[in-house]
Amino acid sequence: MKNKIPVSINREHVLKLLSKGMRIDGRDLLNYRPISINFEVAGKADGSASVRFGDTYVMVGVKAEIGKPFPDTPGEGVLLVNAEFVPLASPDFEPGPPNEDAIELARVVDRGLRKGEVVDLKELCIVPGEKVWMLWVDIYILDHNGNLMDAAALASLAALMNTKLPEVKVEGEEIIKTGKFKPLNIKDYPIAVTLGKIGGSFIVDPLLDEEQLMDCRLTVITTKSGNICALQKSFSGTFSQGDVLKALNIAVEKGKELRDLLFSSFEKFSSSKA
């Protein structure tokens, strides 16, 4: 049980530093921890990636299955996001079905991917009304040290960028896999940036200790062109209207940084494979 200093004792120290524009790990308020993004980390998955923000470690695997479309969207494939808070990731995680935090995380990541139009679901249709690709995006939290939301969203997008779908042919009733693969067509690159409000200051990429002291947080997901595609306020505090607008501007800026990092990591990975 390391780092188990009671939150209330830490609070004074954290707030005092923040008022001077400093963090407990020496970062500036609006700096991320060192980030690393790795692709193709699970061989059996159709796409996968892992992301580390400092000691936070999240893995995402994408599995593609052929299934039946939803009756109200017969010409579209299906994108499903699920998050598992694996018990090995934190002393606070317990085995069992996803709790409300895991459900919220998965739903916010889902909203970002869907509304950010990462994939055109129409392209995932094989036989309208009958057979479509179902993409399961499974988020696996492996080490929880704060800011799961941003790490999970980034890892999910990275895993989709790395996803290859089997090429299929339709012959009568049957669907035949040709044995070839083609990469998933990625349309946009929405990035989640979570702003934490703590003692009147905004911070990005909170540590677990900071997260427990935050009044509230706002997750802002922005597209490549700098528009907002999803928002989620959580925790029990409040924002003023000015706070919200300030947060959005920071999120657009930080989103750009993370997106550039994602692109350069992906390029490095692609060239290492070539």
Task: Pick the piece of the chain touching other proteins (CB under 8 A) from 32-40, 145-153, 161-169, 226-234.
Answer: 226-234
Q: 132 forms bridges with which residues in the sheet?
A: 67, 125
- Per CB under 8 A, the list member of 63, 164, 233, 256 interacting with other proteins is 233
Closest approach of other proteins to the CB of residue 153, in Å? 15
Q: Is position 229 an interface residue for other proteins (rule: CB under 8 A)?
A: yes
Show the site string, 84-113: x = touches other proteins by CB under 8 A, - = not: ----------------x--xx-xx---x--
Query: What's at 228, amino acid-wise?
Result: I
**Residue 212: which of 110, 99, 101 has the closest Cα?**
101
Task: Pick the piece of the chain touching other proteins (CB under 8 A) from 25-33, 151-159, 167-175, 230-238.
Answer: 230-238
Closest approach of other proteins to the CB of residue 15, in Å? 19
* Cα–Cα dist 259/72, whole Å: 34
Q: Is position 123 an interface residue for other proteins (rule: CB under 8 A)?
A: no
Q: Is position 143 an interface residue for other proteins (rule: CB under 8 A)?
A: no
- Per CB under 8 A, the list member of 63, 216, 224, 246 interacting with other proteins is 216
Count of chain residues binding other proteins (CB under 8 A):
36
Subset of residues 173 to 192 that bind other proteins, contact rule: CB under 8 A: none
Long-range contacts of 265-270 (CB under 8 A, 24+ apart): 265/36, 265/37, 265/38, 265/39, 265/158, 266/37, 266/39, 266/158, 266/161, 266/162, 269/38, 269/39, 269/40, 269/162
Helix (H) or strand (E) holding 61: strand 56-67
Task: Pick the piece of the chain touching other proteins (CB under 8 A) from 43-51, 58-66, 172-180, 216-224.
Answer: 216-224
Taking residue 140's Cβ as centre, other Cβ atoms within 10 Å add up to: 20
Show the site string, 19-38: x = touches other proteins by CB under 8 A, - = not: --------------------
- Per CB under 8 A, the list member of 5, 7, 176, 245 interacting with other proteins is 245
Pseudo-torsion of CA 204, 210, 215, 220, nearest 10°? 20
43 contacts 61 by C-beta, under 8 angstroms: no
Closest approach of other proteins to the CB of residue 74, in Å? 9
Phi-psi category of residue 85: left, alpha or beta, with phi > 0 → left and psi -120 to 50 → alpha = beta
| Residue 176, both tokens | 């035949």
Q: Is position 237 an interface residue for other proteins (rule: CB under 8 A)?
A: yes
What residues make contact with other proteins under the rule CB under 8 A? Answer: 72, 75, 100, 103-104, 106-107, 111, 115-117, 216, 218, 223, 226-241, 243-245, 248-249, 252
